[in-house]
Chains A and B, each alone.
Chain A
Amino acid sequence: MVGLPARLNDQLAELRHRFRPLLDALSAWGLWVLIGALFVWAALDERQLFVVGIVVGSIYALGALGLTLIYGILKFGNFAHGDTMMLGAYVAYFVLTGRIVGERTDTNTGLGLDRLPAATDRLGDLTFGYAFLLAVAAAVIVIALVSVGLDRVIYRPLRRRGSSIVIFAIASLGVALATRSVILFVWGPDSRVYVSGIHRARHLPFDIVLKTDQIFVLIVAVALTAAMYLLLFRTKLGKAMRATADNPALARVAGINTEQTIVWTWIIGGALVAVAGVLLALQANLTPNLGFFLLLPLFAAAILGGLGNPVGALLGAMVVGVAQETSVEFLSPGYKASVAFFILVVILLLRPHGLFGGRTR
């Protein structure tokens, strides 16, 4: 290090070494206490923001789950995950409305499901009709297929060549840029909405007001997370996925077809992130760049929970969601993204293996 005498430097290193276990314990407990305090304070003082944070967090959770699964098995951070999420949202938009960008106004291809009879009649208090649900299903299928296709064309050849994780990460960055460009090319830069109309609010106990759509989002996210948990811990496929993440060489020795496991990982990760994209777009407007901004909270959530740990990703997503939403009490809403960034930096400094992880590096 420039400017520091070697002796001082040595002493610093010595000190750091001696206090490492103490610092480890402190940072672990400190983080848990901090998270506990955040949740208690938010739940008591900022109930409304807290609940909205949970809704946002549950969307992040779906994205972070996919991210952490892919990391667990393929060992690289998939930078394309945010843009894949947006692609899912746009595919659902197309299936629903049939619209793509035109020269001056939109071109309606006439392929949208909203032409079906009563397709957009509102389901109860929700803003959308059954066509929207079909559009979500279509997006799930398309994104799962696209994910598997990208693996075939890009990641599998890299695996066969034994490329380093840096190559994988940079390749995924390329996929991210390409995906965003495709979105821009097909749907243009303007923001879009699935359905315009008035949101009905619901008054819940404890003075909480939520849009019915938000309640829908929460239910879907919770249901999918629970399904994921059952898949990973109760089914043969899920156990094989965890085994492959744990020790791919031994998984092969046990007779697990790891390539097939990888395909399933992309299918499941893609399906989850497609749903996340649609749920997000149901809350906010669809813009091509949204996916890029989402990458930060998704990575923060996945790393906070410990990369590769699905339960951790869920908790991490809730922390990031609640922290972001409650931050508007102190900061301008424009800084929400920086909250996720701040969380990310703090974890990487203190506990790079996440809340449940072992020692710091």
Chain B
Amino acid sequence: MTTGPVLEAQGVVAGYGEVNILHGVSLRVDGGEMVAVIGPNGAGKSTLLKAIFGLLPLRSGRVFLKGQEITNLSPDEVVLRGLSYVPQVENVFPSLTVLENLEMGAFVRRNGVRHRLQQVCELFPDLAGRRGEVAARLSGGQRQMLAVARALMLDPEVLLLDEPSASLSPKMVAIIFDRIGIINQAGTAILLVEQNAKEALSLSHRGYVLAMGQNRLEGEAKGLLENAEVARLYLGA
């Protein structure tokens, strides 16, 4: 499975306006790995994904994808290099059809779009049946599926997921996590930011605990699940 890091962030400092949210966060994702980033509200989890993806300028630190530096490249350049990102909210194009949403996911792809579309539709059969429907008509869960499917159209090296389970029913959460597991088993490395720490860790290989914009803990997901401090702080045990 492991083939060295596909994604690596070193000492990332970023923030909004005068305020720094991240104070030197580092992490790495190896080939085919699923890594969870957990932490309390305001720890800077979502900000970290935005900074890695180039939506937020890095004030310090560097980001590498497959060994190539992508620090502060614009999103369209990052996408071209094989990094895909699913925002937490407003992550579909509401007035476009399901099919058009997926096509937009493959915007930078030159070939193999049709083939990829077939693969993604096999993974999300419920979406395939509603291709012609406008995304605004989908339920919250289906929309989340569409958002992930859209990002997968790129066939990315690494998929960045920002709280895919947020505001979904428990049943939908189970389904979404199940799909994420399947995507990872098919070989796509995933960096998952989650509030839902227990589920995220039980699905992942490794995990990072963020607090106040800094690395707090890191290690094998299993170890973190059993870690007393993590349990006390974030798992509500």
Contacts and interface: CB of A to CB of B under 8 A. Distances in A.
A247 B93 contact: yes
Nearest to B105: A254
B76 A255 contact: yes
Contact of B87 (A242, A253, A257): A253
A239 B100 contact: yes
B150 interface: yes
B52 to A, nearest CB: 12
Contacts of A247: 90, 92-94
Interface in B83-101: 85, 87, 90-96, 100
B119 to A, nearest CB: 18
B90 A253 contact: no
Interface of A: 236, 239-240, 242-243, 246-247, 249-257
A252 B53 CA distance: 11
B76 A250 contact: no
B55 interface: yes
A161 to B, nearest CB: 15
A247 B154 CA distance: 19
Contact of A257 (B76, B91, B93): B76
Specify which of A236, A243, A251, A256 lies most central, judged by the most chain B CB atoms within 10 Å of its CB: A243
B87 A255 contact: no
A249 B87 contact: yes
Contacts of B55: 252-253
A243 B95 CA distance: 8
B25 interface: no
For the complex, would chain A's binding face be called helix, strand, loop or mixed by DSSP majority? helix
Given A251-B93, A253-B55, 6 more contacts: A242-B95, A242-B100, A243-B93, A253-B53, A256-B104, A256-B107
Interface of B: 53, 55, 74-76, 79-80, 85, 87, 90-96, 100, 103-105, 107-108, 150, 154
A253 B85 contact: yes
B87 A250 contact: yes
A220 to B, nearest CB: 28
Contact of A242 (B53, B79, B90, B93): B93
A255 B76 CA distance: 4
A239 B96 contact: yes
Contacts of A240: 104, 107
Contact of A250 (B79, B80, B91, B108): B91
Contacts of A236: 103, 107
The 9 residue pairs across chains A and B that have the minimum distance between CB atoms: A255-B79, A255-B108, A246-B93, A255-B76, A243-B93, A243-B104, A252-B75, A254-B104, A255-B107
Given A239-B100, A240-B107, A253 B75 contact: yes
Contacts of B100: 239, 242-243
B90 A254 contact: no
Given A242-B96, A255-B79, A255-B80, A250 B107 contact: no
B94 A239 contact: no
Nearest to A255: B79
A247 B101 CA distance: 11
A248 to B, nearest CB: 10
A253 B83 CA distance: 10
23 contacts: A236-B107, A239-B96, A239-B104, A242-B95, A242-B96, A242-B100, A243-B100, A243-B104, A246-B95, A246-B96, A247-B90, A247-B94, A250-B91, A250-B93, A251-B93, A251-B104, A253-B55, A253-B85, A255-B76, A255-B80, A255-B108, A256-B76, A257-B76
Contacts of A239: 96, 100, 103-104
B112 to A, nearest CB: 15
Contacts of B53: 253
A34 B4 CA distance: 68
B87 A254 contact: no
Nearest to A72: B95
Contact of A255 (B75, B91, B96): B75
